[in-house]
Amino acid sequence: MSSDDRHLGMGASITRRDFLNGMAIGVGGAMAAGWLPGDIDALLAQGIAPYPPALTGLRGSHVGSFEVLHQLRDGAFWKAAGTPENTGEDYDLVVVGAGISGLTAAHYFKKARPDARILVLDNHDDFGGHARRNEYTHNGRTYIGYGGTQSIDSPAPYSRVAKDLITELGIDVTRYQKVLDAGLYKSLGLGPSMFFDKETFGADRLVVGDPRDDAFQAAAPISDAVRRDLKRLLTERMDPMPGLSSAEKKARLARMSYTDFVTTQLKLDAGVMKIFQTRTHGLFGAGVDVVPAQDAFALGLPGFAGMGLDAAPGPGQNFDSIHSEEAGHYYFHFPDGNASVARLLVRRLVPGAIPGSTIDDVVTARADYGKLDAAGLAVRIRLSSSVMRVRHIGPAGGDQRVEVAYVQRASGRQGLETSGPQVLKTVHARSVVLACWHSVIPALCPELPAAQKKALDYAIKVPLVYTNVFIRQWTAFQKLGVQRVSMPGMWHTSVNLDFPVSIGNYTHPKDPNEPIVLHLSKSACKPGLPIRDQHRAGRVELLTTSFETIERSIRDSLGRALGGGGFDPARDILGITVNRWPHGYAYQYNSLADDFWVTGGEQPCVVARQKFGRIAIANADAAAYAYTDAAIDHGHRAVTELLAQPGSEK
Ligand SMILES: Cc1cc2nc3c(=O)[nH]c(=O)nc-3n(C[C@H](O)[C@H](O)[C@H](O)COP(=O)(O)OP(=O)(O)OC[C@H]3O[C@@H](n4cnc5c(N)ncnc54)[C@H](O)[C@@H]3O)c2cc1C
């Protein structure tokens, strides 16, 4: 190991600690008695499974969750697969995908048919899909972070169906102001900042404040030309399209990126864009090089003040840049993000799996994963089960069934390795909801019409990483006066102190001397390529980058950005959970890549989500809208379609 690595703390075997952390909560007494890593096998042999939310290291789409599906994609799986073992299980409904859409589908089916037998299958070792919970335990106290879906928050108002479900689950979004300690960070004098790294900007410097501030511009390590043009961009009223109406200007802006607008229309120094490049990562999973200028205007990026543009959305505007007052007020964040929504659904579907009855107690309730798939339950959730084929068996009519073939990894080893024993099995169902990612469906369901498969394939996902870093103390943030750091040149491009939310018995750390969860995010994108190609390339990057590489970059970034406040990565980092989502957000149409989105042509998601016999199609992909309300709406729609079908009842 190099001395640099030692300095960063790479020597601490975090991977080993990861497993121990994951096991520790599950085996309490055993850990206290001094179990060593090698004993994991012994524990597994005793049937003691890891507790997924506490596993750290590379999570999200974890090792073991996607390999067989990639074999299926590559046409290799069925060539080598033997004959599936028929479990003999026959369900009223099988749901593929235990994300919020699949859980919603199970919920509404159960409501309509209280006696129904339902099986939910998911390839991950945890439920919730992107809505993923991360936990850390230190000195007897549990700290919670969100590993995916962050909040109940959507650019458009929630539908009646989605609002009703949120209310039915007991969530009152108006309570958010009570559970959020909105003034905490401000009271400590913390605010935004940007870390300029030497590889991108020529010098390592943390600059506190906002690029609009004079002091920020003066302190930033940028050339005089960039400083001058940054100021012009932020303050001058320029109009590079005089003589055109607002609508005509927007039509042009819809067809050029924000980078093109700033550099070729406003003719400002390209160096300015380095400061803005990652501004749109959180919404689009890509930088301003592929975000249409019309959307950049609507999102409030600078440079449009002199153009006289009206605020009404123009043709081809992305959902994310259309402002809605009503949607802005419908917001709630749980410490584990929307994993709490998933957990509330599971609590209803599988009684006893998550103790308690309120949204206060769900936050700290420990899920009993052993209860999710118990024999005899009306609703069973089977994890670590990758569905490989879904096909109708027998002629259409009351006796027709859908056969669902899946590969199940042996329980207990989930997430720990790729190679554990795997078994190919089948179950049968009267109806199936495919609540999984649309791009997977053509391989699962070869009998679908070619046009529908093509449309499903269009739903390329946006690759993202949400990393939680559990640290010993946040005094460095206090000393530096920062709550969040934008790091446009680093692998993770932002780091935030966690949301100061306290619910029920869960209390957010208030004292900088206490441990806290940091949230880091990365959009895996490749500036220079068209947006859809960026998503493809980003997915490959995420699947081929090791945890060690990511860990080193985290330690390096945090050490360099926060070292001035005394942050020491070797001393201060207690745990790292990298939630990588190579298949992240649902792809939302935009005016640079999707002509039909501007001209009003047919949307692939509408073709993709059509019911096929006894198979209905859900997931947020069904709306090409990367939000929980879409997942709910389309889980509900899929079930409504199945229930309306003649012969769906017993
Ligand atoms: C990092 C991140 C942050 C987000 N933040 C927000 C937010 O703040 N607010 C918001 O509203 N939305 C957010 N989203 C969008 C989020 O995806 C949706 O809100 C919603 O959770 C999607 O639910 P879903 O059930 O449609 O899909 P998913 O959550 O993706 O669930 C689908 C499940 O199907 C599984 N699956 C796929 N193929 C198979 C197979 N063959 N066999 C078995 N299982 C399979 C998948 O692995 C997955 O678990 C975020 C997404 C990401 C990635």
630-646, pLDDT tens digit by residue? 999 999 999 999 999 87
Half-sphere exposure of 221 (CA within 13 A, CB side): 14
Query: 22 falls in which pLDDT band (50, 70, 90)?
Result: very low
CA 368/CA 345 separation, integer angstroms = 14
| Adjacent-strand bridge partners of 585 | 462
**Ligand 1 within 6 A of 287 CB?**
no
- Of the candidates 255, 359, 364, 262, the one whose C-alpha atom is nearest the C-alpha of residue 315 is 255
CA 138/CA 108 separation, integer angstroms = 39
CA 248/CA 231 separation, integer angstroms = 27
Structure tokens at 241: 């399209």
CB atoms within 10 A of CB 335: 27
| Cβ within 8 Å of residue 209, ≥6 positions away | 191, 192, 193, 215, 216, 219
Using one digit for the tens of pLDDT, what is the confidence trace for 358-381?
Answer: 999 999 999 999 999 999 999 999
Predicted confidence at residue 421, as pLDDT, reads 72
Predicted confidence at residue 19, as pLDDT, reads 36
Using one digit for the tens of pLDDT, what is the confidence trace for 51-97?
Answer: 999 999 999 999 999 999 999 999 999 999 989 999 999 999 999 99
Predicted confidence at residue 178, as pLDDT, reads 97
* 107-131: b (≥16 Cβ within 10 Å) or e: bbbbeebeebbbbbbbbbbbbbbbb
Angle between helices 628-644 and 160-168 (to 10 degrees): 100
Tell me which residue has tokens 């850990």. Answer: 31
Half-sphere exposure of 582 (CA within 13 A, CB side): 20
CB atoms within 10 A of CB 601: 10
193 and 486 in contact (C-beta within 8 Å)?
Answer: yes
Using one digit for the tens of pLDDT, what is the confidence trace for 267-310?
Answer: 999 999 999 999 999 999 999 999 999 999 999 999 999 999 99
Name which of 23-32, 327-336, 416-425 the model is least confident about: 23-32
Predicted confidence at residue 44, as pLDDT, reads 55
Ligand 1 centroid, distance to 623 Cα (angstroms): 13
Query: 50 falls in which pLDDT band (50, 70, 90)?
Result: confident
Is 34's pLDDT higher than 60? no
Q: Specify the residue with its C-alpha closest to ligand 1, atom 37.
A: 436
Ligand 1 centroid, distance to 462 Cα (angstroms): 11
- Of the candidates 334, 331, 379, the one whose C-alpha atom is nearest the C-alpha of residue 629 is 331
CB atoms within 10 A of CB 379: 25
Q: Across all residues in the chain, what is the average pLDDT?
A: 92
Predicted confidence at residue 43, as pLDDT, reads 46
Ligand 1 atom with minimal separation from the 464 CA: 1
Is 46's pLDDT higher than 80? no
Q: Which of 436, 519, 588, 637 to mutate to test the pocket of ligand 1 (most atoms within 8 A of CB)?
A: 436
Structure tokens at 442: 């053509």
Return the higher-pLDDT residue of 26 and 89.
Answer: 89
Query: 25 falls in which pLDDT band (50, 70, 90)?
Result: very low
Mean predicted confidence (pLDDT) in 433-458:
98
Strand 85-96, strand 118-121: pairing:
parallel
Using one digit for the tens of pLDDT, what is the confidence trace for 300-310?
Answer: 999 999 999 99
Ligand 1 centroid, distance to 237 Cα (angstroms): 42
Mean predicted confidence (pLDDT) in 324-345:
97
Query: 6 falls in which pLDDT band (50, 70, 90)?
Result: confident
CB atoms within 10 A of CB 241: 16
Q: Specify the residue with its C-alpha closest to ligand 1, atom 53.
A: 584
